[in-house]
Structure 1
Amino acid sequence: MTITFLGTGTSSGVPIIGCTCLVCRSLDHRDQRLRTAVHLAVDGRSLVVDTGPDFRQQMLRARITQLDALLFTHEHKDHTAGLDDIRAFNFRQQQKIPVFGEPRVLEQLKKEFAYVFAEHKYPGVPQVSLHPILADDAPFDVHGVAVQPLRARHHKLPVLGFRIGGFCYLTDANHLPAETQALMQGADVIVLNALRREQHVSHFTLAEAVEILEELQPKRAYLTHISHQLGRHLAVEAELPSWIRLAYDGLQVEV
């Protein structure tokens, strides 16, 4: 399985519009972060987790020419706003794109993209088939790929992460139940959000993320959903254990 980090930034991206801090002025490409999303090439299938506002740019930059399914972690705009741009894959593949998410998330997509689900559709709108992820927490099938949902909390909002084989991906969380941590045991690679150093109402801090990863002890770990408040990539990574790295846009990892 090949994981490509399409975006590793927080909801406003990095650099932030109008900001002149050292991170936002950095010329290091690793400090330039689109909104968080990830691509998984597994068993001949092309899966994307979340379609934020930068989806089109991310697909072009990563040269992704096939899309077999979308998985959504939750319904916030920085994870859903680019859904319309799957049209290019509809045209190319001549088929609907399966979309997986919790029922609440799929209902929100129906509201925000009402024209996609209208009875009488305008020609050329995105074509999707909806597949609810139900609350029994059992693995579900995506074109023959077994996906284990991982439940977490984003302040008061329930969100999902996913485990596929030895790979776990969790973003936009500040609480992992013991049951979820048990499902993550034995992973080869874990991706976890680490927004900044200071406490935040709905995201893990750097210290909190590192503490969880040290408990779970994967072989490798990567931090994502990073804000400009965390600091320069090079400086922050120097503080971390060698097996925990900051993810950056375009990074590819084999699992």
Structure 2
Amino acid sequence: MRLTLLGTGNAAGMPLYGCNCQYCFSARNNQDLRRTACSARLDMGDITILLDAGQLHLADSYPSGTLDAILLTHFHPDHVQGLFHLRWGIGNAIPVYCPPDDEGCADLYKHPGILNFIPKNEFSSFSIGDMEITPLPLNHSKNTHGYFFQGNGHAVAYLTDTKGLPLATEQFLSSRDVDLMVIDCSYVPDSNKGGHNNLNEVIEIASSTQPEKVVLTHIGHDLDIWLQQNSAELPPNIVAGYDGMALQPGPSDG
């Protein structure tokens, strides 16, 4: 099992439009410092699953037949915007698993094209190949799912967007051995903004659920700067994700 973080930014991304701070200046001039729309790709054997579709130009990155499924956490635009072009393709339908949401986003339901939207209820496990997938409820302004993946003896939790965790999700994760948790962390420590975790909240979640490793994603502008200045203050099992980061659960994680 291999998880690649395609994007690790919040909706605004990094660099922040109109900001002339030294960190945004550096990100404009160094591709490695940019943060694009939060999404990931999970590969296991010959199965490839896209987690959220906020990245643009998906048709260029994933030629027809290379995606086995897309899993949506929710229908906010920064997590589905790549679908608006992809849907007009031809060929086999692409399964798109998602939370139940009567509205969806714009006209995706009305004109799905090759996208086959498949709503899944929370804790209703299903399989793709040899991978078992369990949708987990999260705390956000739209109906939102995290996903718990089991396969090849490993367990991965992908949890964005959320503010804390619902008790049922926390209990589910606490009762399992989680090799890798990738989790929403948008704000600096002690921030009182809603909708997304600050760093203190992620540390509390990690303490209560005890994953082997935690990787931060959906990182906002101010937290990005804080991390560049204070990365040594992170607990030893928590690291900041970055675009293109490849993660392999277990001892060979990198």
TM-score, shorter chain, exceeding 0.5 = yes
| Pairwise CA distance, 1:144 | 4.5
Measure, in 2, the Cα distance between the counterparts of 1:24 and 1:238.
Answer: 21
Aligned to 1:147: 133
Residues 236 and 29 from structure 1, CA distance in 2 versus in 1: closer, same or farther, beyond 3 angstroms? farther
Q: What is the SS of the residue equivalent to 1:162? A: strand
Match of 1:113 among 97, 108, 116: 108
Structure with a larger share of its residues in helix: 1
Measure, in 2, the Cα distance between the counterparts of 1:36 and 1:170.
Answer: 11
Measure, in 2, the Cα distance between the counterparts of 1:127 and 1:143.
Answer: 21
Q: Does the CA-based 8 Å contact 2:87-2:115 persist in structure 1?
A: no
Q: What is the SS of the residue equivalent to 1:116? A: coil
Residues 56 and 32 from structure 1, CA distance in 2 versus in 1: closer, same or farther, beyond 3 angstroms? same
Matched, 1:101 2:101: no
**Cα deviations by residue, 1:150-182 (Å, 9 ceiling, x for unpaired):** 11111x433110000110000110031221012
| Pairwise CA distance, 1:7 | 0.4
Aligned to 2:222: 229
Measure, in 2, the Cα distance between the counterparts of 1:208 and 1:243.
Answer: 15
Measure, in 2, the Cα distance between the counterparts of 1:44 and 1:237.
Answer: 36
Aligned to 1:253: 247
| Pairwise CA distance, 1:4 | 0.6
Matches within 5 A, 1:7-18: 7-18=7-18
- Indicate the percent of aligned positions where both proteins have the same amino acid: 30
**Cα deviations by residue, 1:43-76 (Å, 9 ceiling, x for unpaired):** 3211011111x3327x75xx55511111111111
Cα RMSD after superposing both structures: 2.2
Q: What is the SS of the residue equivalent to 2:236? A: coil
Aligned to 1:213: 206
* Alignment gaps of 5+ in structure 2: 250-254
Q: Does the CA-based 8 Å contact 1:230-1:236 persist in structure 2?
A: no
Aligned to 1:196: 187
Q: Does the CA-based 8 Å contact 2:125-2:133 persist in structure 1?
A: yes
Letter in 2 for 1:254: Q
Q: What is the SS of the residue equivalent to 1:184? A: helix
Q: What is the SS of the residue equivalent to 1:104? A: coil
Measure, in 2, the Cα distance between the counterparts of 1:160 and 1:177.
Answer: 11
Aligned to 2:252: none
Aligned to 1:123: none
Letter in 2 for 1:21: C
Aligned to 2:56: 55
**Cα deviations by residue, 1:173-200 (Å, 9 ceiling, x for unpaired):** 0031221012223100001111111221
Q: What is the SS of the residue equivalent to 1:153? A: coil
| Pairwise CA distance, 1:214 | 2.1
Match of 1:240 among 224, 230, 234: 234
Measure, in 2, the Cα distance between the counterparts of 1:48 and 1:142.
Answer: 12
Measure, in 2, the Cα distance between the counterparts of 1:234 and 1:16.
Answer: 16
| Pairwise CA distance, 1:115 | 6.0
* Alignment gaps of 5+ in structure 1: 118-125
Q: Does the CA-based 8 Å contact 1:116-1:127 persist in structure 2?
A: no
Aligned to 1:33: 35
Letter in 1 for 2:111: V
Letter in 1 for 2:187: R
Q: How many residues end up aligned between the 2 structures?
A: 236
Measure, in 2, the Cα distance between the counterparts of 1:70 and 1:131.
Answer: 10
Match of 2:115 among 128, 133, 150: 128
Q: Does the CA-based 8 Å contact 1:43-1:145 persist in structure 2?
A: no
Letter in 2 for 1:74: H
